[in-house]
Amino acid sequence: MKYRIRLSPTVAFRAIQELNSVTRKHLPVQIRSIRGFFFFLLLFAFPFSIRFFWAFSLAPVPYLTPDEFIYPFAGKLYVQGLASGNLSVFKVNAEHPPLSKLITALFIFLLGPFGFSDIGALRVQGCFFSSLTCILAYLIGSRADRRVGMLSWVLLSLDPLSIRFAIASLDATSLFFASLSIYILLKAHPNSSKLYLLSGLILGLATLCKYSAFPVVLGAFALILLGDRTPIRPAAQKISLVAASSLAVLILGNPLFWPPQLIGFSGYSVFIEASSRYTIGPGGICVTPLDWLEPVLKAWNTPHALFYLSMFGLGSLTYPLPIFQSSYLPWLSLASLLQLARRKARLEGLRFKSLLWFSAGFLFFWLLAKSQAEPYYSVWLQPPLAIFSANSIIDIWRKVKR
């Protein structure tokens, strides 16, 4: 009797295990793929419905001016120009690359018959790509653990900053491609160059939506390779491959970088002229926070030096984006970092990589967004923060459970 009692749970467990394995094996592929489809549909629908509700019920129209007027107009103009062979249309809003605006034109074309205005279609585009980025957060987080993936998705889906600025279409669209590029980079086998090439091509698409994607992703990739202790030569080869392929896509996809003989004007000059308005400061000058030092050094024996020095000091030491005021993710990440430091726990794997990804974006915007920091640039920092926080929370939960 004793023997029976001891044995029966083991036997039952084995039987259930076998039954499970049999049913899993015999589950038709179609049903499994339908299950997967509905699962990803849910992963998309939840963040999309939150963003859609904010964009169409709560956000005032217009919310991001003048962007919400310029991008649909420019997108439609580009399509007309491409159709008629008139590439001079790309002189309009030349400071930003054209891909996201062309996608906006596509959304206007698709949603216009359903009663969506141009701004409405632009907002649907932003919500669509922002929700896809949440799915990518799940996929990247799942590389460590499925629970990490789910928590990353929950944190990013409910992040107030990502919801509020999902309607920043250029950033939301570019961030999706940039996150996809990082996902492929993390997935790539060290000896296979195909995935690096693919990642570079997708980074090119991200850069064709917004130029910020290029330094952020490439910086993150370089830091990840440094952190992984990849030897210099293969690391340089991989970075070059990603950079070259993305630059090729950028040049092919942006008519402003085509030869003047082909487009009939110097696109590069138009781009430089349009970009020069992104300068501010004394006499309309300032490129990075360090450039505030120029008036200090030039006016060293005048009272102006003190004034400029004060501007330089605060300008460099305070972060230009109010991330802690608008989201819980930076707080969670900072608490995780402090907890890590207190426990002196080893930082490795996806947690380390997501921290380096965050660092690349964080320092890039500190350095270059100083001249004209828009609060919606913060959306770039949220996916790595969500993954890092989720990873840390699951890690702590596991330790507590033990």
Element (H, E) at 5: helix 2-26
Among 195, 247, 274, 309, indicate the residue that binds other proteins (CB under 8 A): 309
Instruction: Determine, following the binding rule CB under 8 A, whether residue 337 of this chain makes contact with other proteins.
Output: yes
Contact stretch for other proteins (CB under 8 A) within 8-16, 172-180, 201-209, 326-334 = 326-334
* Least distance to other proteins, CB of residue 56, Å: 30
Q: Which residues contact 73 (CB under 8 A, 6 or more apart)?
A: 92, 118
Nearest to 287 by CA among 361, 366, 368: 368
Give the separation between CA 275 and CA 277, rounded to whole angstroms: 5
Q: How far is CA 343 from the centre of its chain?
A: 30
* Contact set for other proteins, span 193-232 (CB under 8 A): 223, 226-227, 229
| # residues near other proteins by CB under 8 A | 48
CB 111 within 8 A of CB 291: no
Would you call 230 helix, strand, or coil by DSSP? coil
Among 241, 274, 293, 373, indicate the residue that binds other proteins (CB under 8 A): 293
- Per-residue CA distances from 48 to 53, 251, 359 (Å): 8, 32, 27
CB 108 within 8 A of CB 72: yes
Instruction: Determine, following the binding rule CB under 8 A, whether residue 399 of this chain makes contact with other proteins.
Output: no
* Least distance to other proteins, CB of residue 35, Å: 40
* Least distance to other proteins, CB of residue 210, Å: 20
Among 313, 397, 398, 399, indicate the residue that binds other proteins (CB under 8 A): 313
Element (H, E) at 196: helix 194-209
* Least distance to other proteins, CB of residue 389, Å: 13
Residue with tokens 């217009």: 62
Among 286, 329, 393, 394, indicate the residue that binds other proteins (CB under 8 A): 286
Which chain residues interact with other proteins by CB under 8 A?
223, 226-227, 229, 272, 276, 279, 285-288, 290-291, 293-294, 297-298, 306-307, 309-310, 313-314, 317-319, 322-325, 330-331, 334, 337-338, 340-342, 344, 346-347, 355-356, 358-359, 362-363, 366
